[in-house]
Amino acid sequence: MSTRIVRIEEKILKKNEVSAFENRELFKKNKVLAVNLLSSPGAGKTTLLVRTAELLKNRINLAVSVGDLQTEADAERIAGAGVPVVQINTGTACHLDANMVQKSLSHIPLESTDILFIENVGNLVCPASFGLGEHLRVVILSATEGEEKPLKYPPIFQTAHCVCINKTDLLPYIDFDINKCRENLARICPNAEVIEFSCRTGEGLERWFDWLIDRWKIVYGE
């Protein structure tokens, strides 16, 4: 029975790899930087996307694919910031896969998009195994979650190109050791960029914006 389970999982992942490759080719053709945005529920993915859209859309063209089990609430919030957005409802699936993203791309104006954010389902486990064809993986860690999260969920942090520590405005009021968190991140994902900010106050977001634009320039040589 265990052998059968492994073979089924391998088949699913192989199919996902094919769709991920096709997505990468489409992104390359249109010079789109694809960013897979990951976190646990409530860490601030949607709020970060709204703030990013509001403050960055006049500097670079953005679009968003939003993954949730149900509702279009997050897509509606992001659309209010004035960028193209499409909602992907996964039903009972706890993560996006490359095929889901591929289907959503026909609703995104890729030819006029520089950065596509793919907001994954809030989950620190399942999304780690499924590539979407993205260039970058960004994990958001909320200060309210605790500094031990990178140690408890290493796979998703180990694949991150950037880890964002959000809700830093709450640091004076909560029991969160940010220095210990930095140490844990250095241990689990030493090559990841670490950016600290507060989506609520905006403090630190400029560094996030600069990092995104620099990544687009690095990938597409401009």
Looking at the predicted structure, is the pLDDT value of residue 93 above 80?
Answer: no
Average pLDDT of the residues in 7-11 = 57
Query: b/e per residue, 109-129, with b = 16+ CB within 10 A?
Result: ebeebbbbbbbbbbbbeebbe
**CA separation for the pair 113, 166 (Å, rounded):** 26
Q: With cut-offs at 50, 70 and 90, classify the pLDDT of residue 3.
A: very low
Looking at the predicted structure, is the pLDDT value of residue 7 above 60?
Answer: no
Looking at the predicted structure, is the pLDDT value of residue 74 above 50?
Answer: yes
Residue 199, CA atoms < 13 Å, CB-side half-sphere: 21
**What is the number of domains present in the chain?**
1
**CA separation for the pair 36, 135 (Å, rounded):** 8
Q: What pLDDT does 12 receive?
A: 67
Q: What is the mean pLDDT of the chain?
A: 92
Average pLDDT of the residues in 145-167 = 97
Looking at the predicted structure, is the pLDDT value of residue 123 above 60?
Answer: yes
**CA separation for the pair 12, 170 (Å, rounded):** 41
Q: Report how many helices (DSSP H) and strands (DSSP E) the chain contains, helices first.
A: 8, 7
Looking at the predicted structure, is the pLDDT value of residue 176 above 60?
Answer: yes
**CA separation for the pair 170, 156 (Å, rounded):** 24
Tens digit of pLDDT for each residue in 24-72?
999 999 999 999 999 999 999 999 999 999 999 899 999 999 987 777 7
**CATH number of the domain bearing residue 77:** 3.40.50.300
Looking at the predicted structure, is the pLDDT value of residue 4 above 60?
Answer: no
% of residues, the chain, pLDDT over 90: 80
Looking at the predicted structure, is the pLDDT value of residue 131 above 50?
Answer: yes
| Domain assignment of residue 129, given as a range | 2-220
Q: What pLDDT does 222 receive?
A: 65
Q: With cut-offs at 50, 70 and 90, classify the pLDDT of residue 85.
A: very high
**CA separation for the pair 152, 26 (Å, rounded):** 35
Q: With cut-offs at 50, 70 and 90, classify the pLDDT of residue 91.
A: confident
Q: With cut-offs at 50, 70 and 90, classify the pLDDT of residue 180.
A: very high
Q: What pLDDT does 2 receive?
A: 47
Looking at the predicted structure, is the pLDDT value of residue 6 above 70?
Answer: no
pTM for the model? 0.91
